[in-house]
Structure 1
Amino acid sequence: MKVFPTFVYLLAGAVAAAALPAEKSAVFGMSKITWTGQVKPGEPAVSITGTAEEIYKRITKINPNYDYELGLKSPNSTVTRRDLEPIKKRATTSSDFTCAYGNDVDAESIGVGIRYLYSIANADCAAPPGVPGDGGCSVSSCNDGAGIFLCNDASSELHNPCTIVADNAVEVLIQCQSTTYNGGSSWTSYTHGQIFSLDHSWNVILNKC
Structure 2
Amino acid sequence: MRGSSVKFNMKLLSTITNLLLGVTTSAAFPAENSARTINDLVTSKITWTGQVKPGEAVLSITGTAEEIYKQIIQINPNYDNELGLNSNQSTIARRGLEPIKKRATTSDDWTCTYGNNVNAESIGAGVRYLYSIANADCSAPPGSPGAGGCSVSSCNSGAGIWLCNDASNTVNIPCTIIADNAVEVLINCQTTTYNGDETWTSFTHGQIFSDDHTWNVILNQC
Q: TM-score, normalised by structure 1?
A: 0.91
Partner of 1:5: 14
RMSD: 2.0
1:112-140 per-position Cα deviation (integer Å, ceiling 9, x unaligned) = 00000000011010000000000000000
Partner of 2:124: 111
How far is the alpha carbon of 1:177 from its aligned partner? 0.5
How far is the alpha carbon of 1:185 from its aligned partner? 1.4
Partner SS, residue 92 of structure 1: coil
Partner of 1:96: 109
Matches within 5 A, 1:1-209: 3-12=12-21, 22-25=36-39, 30-85=43-98, 87-209=100-222
Residues 26 and 208, structure 1, Cα contact 8 Å, conserved in 2: no
Residues 135 and 153, structure 1, Cα contact 8 Å, conserved in 2: yes
Partner SS, residue 173 of structure 2: strand
| Structure with max Cα Rg | 2
Which consecutive residues of structure 2, in runs of 5 or more, have no partner in the other structure?
1-7, 24-34
Distance 1:162 1:106, change over 3 A: same
Alignment coverage as a number of residue pairs: 202
Of stretches 145-154 and 181-190 in structure 1, the one that deviates more from structure 2 is 181-190
Distance 1:116 1:42, change over 3 A: same
Letter in 2 for 1:44: A
Residues 37 and 220, structure 2, Cα contact 8 Å, conserved in 1: no
Sequence identity of aligned pairs in percent? 71
Partner SS, residue 19 of structure 2: helix
Which consecutive residues of structure 1, in runs of 5 or more, have no partner in the other structure?
15-20
